[in-house]
Amino acid sequence: MAVGGIALGVVALVLSLAALSGFQAAVRGDVLARTPQIEIALPREADLDAALAAVAAVPGVAAAQAIVRGRGWLVAGGGMVHPVEIVGFAGRVPGSFPGAAGGPQGLYVEADRAALWGLAPGEVLEVVSPHPTLTPLGPPQPRVRSLPLAGTFKRSRTQEDRERIALPLPVAATLLARPPRRIEVDAGGLERARALAPRLRAALPPGSEVRTWEDINRPLFFVLKLEKAMMFVAVALIVVVAALALVADLSLVIASKRAEIGILGAMGTTPAALRRTFLLLGGMIAGRGVALGAAAGVGAAWALDHYRVIALPSKVYVFDYVPFLVRGVDLAAVLGLTVALALAVSLYPAQRAAALTPIQALKR
């Protein structure tokens, strides 16, 4: 019973952490696919061309391009209007637009928006900016540019409130009435971006803000870590209850083997040896439960993820099924916690067994 209780606690903890890790990995991957590895915000008085040249000269920079962002509306025929975030880019389409990265300059919209509106490449769309144009002969007029659709990119599943479109930098700068003050840098990898950021700060003019992908998404990553820690603590209470049940089991062993413990003491067995014996017994029970629970939990997580057993309605959730991901660190934490708790609770009955004198143990 003790082995089964510990095994069930381990299975519950492994599956809950695997489900949470699967969701978090999917969210993290979706967010990072649309986040620049390094983003630089230049001060107002900085020279963009000089800053681009300085960035390109830093060892480790794979690519750098100017970016401008702002809000606006996308308008199609038939009166279809949708608010969007306008992202202007210089050169090829940046990597933060999966599915269109590396494409030529032009207008790019999210694939789901194009499918919803029935848009095809080459169809002319209008992009409207909230920054008006002042005219001497009448009221301010909105800034509007008509562009053919160059292509689509994959829609974000976790950032539905930030639907974006990509435009060539000159068009976006004119629509938004602002010069480009941001540079996106490709460092060739997320870990390389961390090492590259300090060198970029030293090469740029004072007042420049250099943020890595980690800095940009720091609040999100903090929430994900906090969520996982709270889930671990909550579900770990099952393991605590199972470990406490081990105290009753070992106490029953002591009660049923009281005479044998007395005989061992009379034959010269030291209290330390008795203590080690019951600690070993508790460790063996915990070890069997941990091994059985870990095997069952990992196997169940793999099967649930591989066969997508738990389906979700795609119109309600951003995922079609519940993903499961068993991380080595999480599994080690579960196994270590369970064994440590089992040994800790085994210490109490082991101390009671060691405190029995031969006379007290043999007395009926």
Mark whether 75 and 179 lie in a shared domain.
yes
CB 235 within 8 A of CB 16: yes
Look up the domain containing 109 and give its range: 36-213
Q: 88 vs 15, 168, 181, CA distance in Å?
A: 43, 5, 11
Is residue 364's pLDDT more than 80? no
Please indicate, yes or no, whether residues 273 and 175 belong to a single structural domain of this protein.
no
pLDDT of amino acid 162: 67
Is pLDDT larger for residue 204 or for residue 136? 204
On whether both 6 and 153 belong to a single domain, the answer is no
Per-residue pLDDT for 216 more than 80? Answer: yes
Residue (of 142, 138, 145, 94) closest to 124 by Cα position: 145
Residue 291 has pLDDT above 90, yes or no: yes
What is the average per-residue pLDDT within 327-346? 92
Same domain, 271 and 186: no
Q: Is there a contact between 30 and 161 (Cβ–Cβ < 8 Å)?
A: no
In this predicted structure, the answer to whether residue 319 has a pLDDT above a threshold of 90 is: no
Q: Are strands 141-153 and 124-133 parallel, antiparallel or unpaired?
A: antiparallel
This prediction has a pTM of 0.80
Q: Please tell me whether residues 58 and 204 are part of one structural domain.
A: yes
Average pLDDT, the chain: 90
- pLDDT tens digits, 80-102: 999 999 999 999 999 889 999 99
- 266 and 334 share one domain: yes
Residues 6 or more apart from 181 whose CB is under 8 A from it? 41, 42, 44, 46, 48, 68
- pLDDT confidence bin for 138, thresholds 50/70/90: low
DSSP characters for 265-276? HHTT--HHHHHH
Model pLDDT for residues 233-284, shown as the tens digit of each residue: 998 998 888 888 888 888 888 888 888 888 888 888 898 998 999 899 999 9
- What per-residue confidence (pLDDT) applies to 247? 87
* Neighbouring-strand partners of residue 153: 110
pLDDT of residue 172: 94
- Enumerate residues 6+ apart whose C-beta is below 8 A from 338: 6, 9, 10, 239, 243, 286, 289, 290, 293
| Number of domains comprising the chain | 2
Q: Per-residue pLDDT tens for 145-158?
A: 999 999 999 887 66
Residues 171 and 240 in one domain: no
292 and 168, same structural domain?
A: no
d(CA 187, CA 182): 16
pLDDT of residue 160: 53
Asked if residue 110 and residue 24 are part of one domain, the reply reads no
Checking if the pLDDT of 359 tops 80, the result is no
Across residues 201-220, what is the average pLDDT? 94
Q: Show the CA angle centred on residue 128, arms to residues 123 and 134, nearest 5°.
A: 135
What's the CA dihedral at 81, 85, 90, 91 to 10 degrees?
A: -70
Q: Which residues pair with 209 in a beta bridge?
A: 41
